[in-house]
Structure 1
């Protein structure tokens, strides 16, 4: 790729790139907290039916509440009439005494842990508890729409902002900023620019030569490219379509299983605050291990192993007894770490598989597919109404199936980035070395220019 080669010739990553990455990391660190906010804003506190208004005494109110096997009030049932004596464990009796019905007067919530949530505000419990998952899906729909709308606006505003920032790079910028300085001292602000005038002319010629070489290289890439940077080209071109379908399944499976785990923290039977901290802390070692595997074994083994291991952890978790909270939490943390590694790998893998002409479009489509997975994931948790562990089996099966798709993708470690669809075809035929040699020949004038610039 011409720009990448030019950047390497000019010194590679510099202070500007480091500052840009640092500034971009700050909002990204907070993004995951927003996506998992519903663990707290939609938490389900302990609750039971509110007795009728006339049952104002606590002892009389308890007469309306059947008890479960642990002796706690049932969450969604009340007696049809107050019971005298000890309550029945199951809330029913053969002669009709102790018959139960759904809550008719609302619920009473335990506000000791969560003072207020959307569940307590809108009574999203019992027959309405599925609406809680719908709220998370609607949030993810907003994330998807925001990415589409504001991504387009960011491109437009970014170009405008860049054009406004242009004068700041002008050599006379320092003189323009000397306005607040007293008149007798303003000349000192511009005086240092005078000795650089002659040297500046030489630098202009060197940079002009570099730009001409870059322009010729880019023009060659544009003429060689046979695709347009549009999403539809991902489906029209057979080579790109195969990559798009495989990568889309990886994006979907990773996001689908990831949000299936992190959005059900109350189901592990431990402190929701503690497990949130553990889930957040596991990302750092997981991505470190992922980095080492990616750069030692390759992208394809890292992607396959992360998805496969994550799916296995979720499936085993679904088969564990509910009272084994420590084991279930450990499996969930390991699975979440593997999914974080999968995200880390899929971003890099997607950028290296797609050709330059459609690379950003491919990354955008992959991210959109991930958003679809995060939208569907909360809806799948509604299947727990049919069978309590059914969602975990679904969350585990999808990444295991997706890991098999990785074998259809090429290994990109140590390979030059493809510029065109033809480069992808050549890579499949084993021609990357010859292509890399041709690129190096094209960069000989660039290397000479860089040496001239850095010479004595």
Structure 2
């Protein structure tokens, strides 16, 4: 009997799934379980909206009680204005500085009252009465070291607990940037873990560690510890969502993948809605942090019922487990009928035979198998980021996609995290910000199939950017209009987010497709890191962050015009096809101003160089989009 596992062609798992007429119950259960991390990871992504919410504050007035006791007057806003300087820029009392006093002069605090000369003044550091009066009002101005906070909206936030105001106000935005840095590094680390040890471990392990760090955040006693723990929350939790996204799309047949992916995004958006509801009822930031963290422990237990990705198992040559899960997916363990399924069944049977032979034979067989695998791997070229930039056309498309991912992520998180700063009710604002993403996800899919990838991306980025810039011209008192513009911008950017993901997956050729998606995703994280810093521009002018977001988005819309359309066109399979992909298309910008030289064949089969305008002919069937040369525009040379 042959002791060595026969070398076979890679099993096409998609062909096995195509045997199914519809989604089976195990697949529905799998997707339902994977929704849970989508929702609760989103609550942590947007948590700083409430954990770091701004609270109105005013410097403490340490002499206030002594002044009242000494002078016997009633303290009103007039006396407060004599203690706190006026801020002309904000047209309000200064929240970061206060006057200093060497003496208590009652006539300064209550000029309309009559005081005895003996009781009129007192040294602030003396317990005895001075013999004379003083005309000195205040001796100078000092920066405040403590503040009183308005607790009408929030009982407490990190701002009030750690005094993140005035010179330290940047730490509120900085904490979110560090969180996004953790997301960037974590996606790389846990992505490698997922590829090497399986999707299930790539979900459960980061959720366990992320849950521990998230609970620890609630007990942080300093801003440094808070920021550090939030870094590890981002490092662990968002990668769990990414791995669950991958596992969900790998578990269904190709025709359902876009719908499953968009559904994951929709439930991620609903996580913001859940956060808004919890934030409304829980106004203390530590309690809120526990409310969104403790459920993760229960989710970890439930997710042990997930089944591993058969696609990953097959690629890792774990055929026995893969066959068992495939039968489970087929619902009731029926016989497998497709050629690919029978191939999997046969290889799994051979592996079972290996496990039944003696140890010496098994070691020899496994050694032979590993040698074959090494030879296979050595014959397969390893690709790097350089391959994305090596050739001119691929380099152009890559740089454009990098920018599109970065700007989409930056504007998306910028609008989400600034929802509470729009004015009005911060809970309603965030809830609406999340709910508008749900229809955006599915409308985006419809537009992708109807219009194509490029028009959808151009429209969504441009319209979102225009909405952001328009906020600059809307007065503050028109609160409803500002909120509507912000939500329309969020709607458009959410649609763009789904579009760039599909665009990148279709533009890159098969050998570097996953690599291209990974690099694009890294640029998206860079955009997330930049987002809080762009939001800090409101210190100079309130509408400035929205103007920057808007200009970035509009520029991204114009750059998208330079990308090729991919709908209905065979995807590139090799690097050569990837480089040539889109070269025969003329961008809408070029079509407006110039003609393109093309090679055509005459009746004798001889190539002729012509100038022709190239136009798209879109039929009612979105799967058929072709390039046509307009014969009436051809000029012979």
TM-score of the pair, normalised by structure 2: 0.54
Q: 1:7-50: CA deviations, max 9, x gaps?
A: 57534764365554444333223333221111101111111000
| Kept after mapping to 2: 8 A contact 1:41/1:118 | yes
**What CA distance in whole angstroms lies between the structure 2 residues aligned with 1:146 and 1:132?**
22
Q: 1:66 to 1:416 in 2, by over 3 A?
A: same
Tell me the secondary structure at the aligned position of residue 48 of structure 1: strand
Q: Does 1:80 align with 2:100?
A: yes
Tell me the secondary structure at the aligned position of residue 148 of structure 2: strand
In structure 2, the residue matched to 1:64 is: 83
In structure 2, the residue matched to 1:374 is: 528
Moved more, 68-77 or 265-274: 68-77
Equivalent residue for 2:45, pick from 14, 18, 35: 35
Aligned length: 391
* Stretches of structure 1 lacking an aligned partner (at least 5 in a row): 88-94, 175-191, 213-221, 432-456
| Kept after mapping to 1: 8 A contact 2:419/2:433 | no
**What CA distance in whole angstroms lies between the structure 1 residues aligned with 2:340 and 2:481?**
67
State how 1:196-211 maps to structure 2 within 5 Å. Answer: 207-208=342-343
Tell me the secondary structure at the aligned position of residue 410 of structure 2: helix
Q: 1:200-254: CA deviations, max 9, x gaps?
A: 9x98898239999xxxxxxxxx99x997442232122434322211111100111
1:65 CA drift (Å): 3.5
| Kept after mapping to 2: 8 A contact 1:133/1:382 | yes
Q: Does 1:251 align with 2:386?
A: no
Equivalent residue for 2:390, pick from 210, 217, 236: 236
In structure 1, the residue matched to 2:54 is: 44
Q: 1:365 to 1:273 in 2, by over 3 A?
A: same
Q: Does 1:6 align with 2:22?
A: no
In structure 1, the residue matched to 2:555 is: 401
| Pair member with larger Rg | 2
Tell me the secondary structure at the aligned position of residue 55 of structure 1: helix
1:403 CA drift (Å): 0.8
State how 1:324-403 maps to structure 2 within 5 Å. Answer: 324-403=478-557
| Kept after mapping to 1: 8 A contact 2:471/2:482 | yes
Q: 1:150 to 1:317 in 2, by over 3 A?
A: same
**What CA distance in whole angstroms lies between the structure 2 residues aligned with 1:6 and 1:241?**
33
Root-mean-square deviation over aligned CA pairs: 3.9
| Kept after mapping to 2: 8 A contact 1:239/1:421 | no
In structure 2, the residue matched to 1:428 is: 582
Tell me the secondary structure at the aligned position of residue 332 of structure 1: helix
Q: 1:4 to 1:320 in 2, by over 3 A?
A: farther
| Kept after mapping to 2: 8 A contact 1:51/1:105 | no
| Kept after mapping to 1: 8 A contact 2:15/2:340 | no
| Kept after mapping to 1: 8 A contact 2:86/2:94 | yes
**What CA distance in whole angstroms lies between the structure 1 residues aligned with 2:540 and 2:111?**
32
* Stretches of structure 2 lacking an aligned partner (at least 5 in a row): 1-9, 69-73, 113-134, 202-307, 348-375, 586-637
1:260 CA drift (Å): 1.8
Tell me the secondary structure at the aligned position of residue 65 of structure 2: coil
**What CA distance in whole angstroms lies between the structure 1 residues aligned with 2:109 and 2:43?**
49
| Kept after mapping to 1: 8 A contact 2:420/2:426 | yes
In structure 1, the residue matched to 2:448 is: 294
Q: 1:18 to 1:331 in 2, by over 3 A?
A: same
Tell me the secondary structure at the aligned position of residue 428 of structure 1: coil
Point out the structure with the larger helix share: 1
**What CA distance in whole angstroms lies between the structure 2 residues aligned with 1:206 and 1:345?**
33
1:423 CA drift (Å): 2.7
Q: 1:326-347: CA deviations, max 9, x gaps?
A: 1111100000111111101111
**What CA distance in whole angstroms lies between the structure 1 residues aligned with 2:111 and 2:419?**
35
Q: 1:424-448: CA deviations, max 9, x gaps?
A: 34543669xxxxxxxxxxxxxxxxx
1:363 CA drift (Å): 1.1
In structure 1, the residue matched to 2:255 is: none
In structure 2, the residue matched to 1:141 is: 181
Moved more, 146-155 or 231-240: 231-240
Q: 1:100 to 1:125 in 2, by over 3 A?
A: farther
| Kept after mapping to 1: 8 A contact 2:391/2:579 | no
Moved more, 48-57 or 105-114: 48-57
| Kept after mapping to 1: 8 A contact 2:51/2:157 | yes
In structure 2, the residue matched to 1:267 is: 421
**What CA distance in whole angstroms lies between the structure 1 residues aligned with 2:34 and 2:136?**
66
Tell me the secondary structure at the aligned position of residue 124 of structure 1: coil
Q: 1:8 to 1:21 in 2, by over 3 A?
A: same
Q: 1:129 to 1:168 in 2, by over 3 A?
A: same
Tell me the secondary structure at the aligned position of residue 10 of structure 1: coil
Tell me the secondary structure at the aligned position of residue 408 of structure 1: coil
Q: 1:237 to 1:20 in 2, by over 3 A?
A: farther
In structure 1, the residue matched to 2:305 is: none
Tell me the secondary structure at the aligned position of residue 78 of structure 1: strand
**What CA distance in whole angstroms lies between the structure 2 residues aligned with 1:300 and 1:76?**
49
**What CA distance in whole angstroms lies between the structure 2 residues aligned with 1:319 and 1:142?**
36
Moved more, 267-276 or 12-21: 12-21
